[in-house]
Every structure is written in C-alpha cells, then in structure tokens.
Amino acid sequence: MAEETAIRKDENVVYIGKKSVMCYVLAVITQFNSGATEVAIKARGKVISRAVDVAEIVRNRFMPDAKIKSIDIKTEELTSEDGSMAKVSAMEITLTK
Amino acid sequence: MAEETAIRKDENVVYIGKKSVMCYVLAVITQFNSGATEVAIKARGKVISRAVDVAEIVRNRFMPDAKIKSIDIKTEELTSEDGSMAKVSAMEITLTK
C-alpha cells in the first residue's frame, strides 16, 4: 500500500479519501475500540458526501450509542505547486460514544 | 426547462441537484431577498458536497452576515419502482441572516 493511498490516522482523526466507504467505517470503529471517546471524520471537496455515509453507517449499523457531537463546514485555501490558489469546502463530523 | 430539472423551491428550502453550484447559490440568495429569514439547503447522496459548497459560497462571497444555524445528517430509505430499498445519506444545512 503506497503511502499516499494509506488511510491517514492522526490522533482520533479519520481523513476521508477515495477508498471505499467501509474502509473508513472500519478506521472509525478501530479508533473507538482503541479507547478513543471521540473520533473526527474529516473530508474535503467531493468526498464530503462519503464522510456523511461513514458517520451514518457507523451510527446506524455498528455503534447505535454513538452520537454526533458536532458538524462543522468551512472553506480551505489550497496552494498548488504552480502557486495558484484554489478554494475547497471542508467538513468535519465529530462522533462521540 | 423540464419540470424534473427545475430547481425545486418549497417554503424556504433549496434542494440540491445536478445543476451548477451557482444556480443554487442564486436560489438561496433569492429566497433571502424575498424576505426569508432562514433557508434550508437539502441534499442527498453524492451532491451533499455541493450543498456544502453552496452554503460556503453564500456565506463567504455574498452574505457575510449569514450564519449556519444547524447542520443535520440522516439516512433516508428510498424505494425504487421494483420495490427494492436503498439507503442514502441526506444532509440539511440551515442558514439564517
């Protein structure tokens, strides 16, 4: 698994990328099972909808006692290699159990 | 404009579909300018990320005094014509001014 495509795991954070939804569901559940009391699901751009899928599947299918602590949206500015700026929407869903 | 592709406008609600982001931005601003004090942006499935774009563009570019009142996510069950069920994530972002 190349480093770029690995699921990034910071402290209690799951970053959503282009893998299948269930990969990220598993990552969230693993963090809770490792003792985390809250897990943040972060996504940017088109995969924001996948972040919602992940949160909903975790809550409805695997952890019915998990709650949505907060949902935040914001705009992030990305600088590409040629120096141009692009704005992209970002979302963070925090689950607690 | 066919009825199916028209932007659906219920009372203070903008439903996100497959049109360009700016169509929905305009729909939200129009509702505020028509006297609405809050507007709900609703989306299902893959266009959820577009709903976030719409909310962010309205707030950052056109209505800096607009605030996010709430963001809710849920799972909706759709029944197709052949009777099969599909679950889809849904999101509602409510803006107030």
Q: Where are the domains of chain A?
A: 2-96
Query: Homologous superfamily of B2-96 in CATH?
Result: Alba-like domain (3.30.110.20)
Kindly report the nearest CA distance between residue A89 and chain B, in angstroms: 6
State residue B1's pLDDT score: 44
The whole-model pTM stands at 0.85
B93 — contact with chain A (CB < 8 Å)? Answer: yes
Report, as an integer, the average pLDDT of A47-76.
Answer: 96
Q: Measured between alpha carbons, how far is A90 from A68 in angstroms, rounded to an integer? A: 17
Structure letter (DSSP) for residue B46:
G
Interval B64-95: pLDDT, tens: 999 999 999 999 998 888 888 899 999 999 99
ipTM of predicted complex? 0.83
- Contact across the interface for A46 and B49, Cβ inside 8 Å: yes
- Contact across the interface for A73 and B71, Cβ inside 8 Å: yes
Kindly report the nearest CA distance between residue A72 and chain B, in angstroms: 8
Strands (E), B21-61: 38-44
Q: H or E stretch including A50?
A: helix A48-57
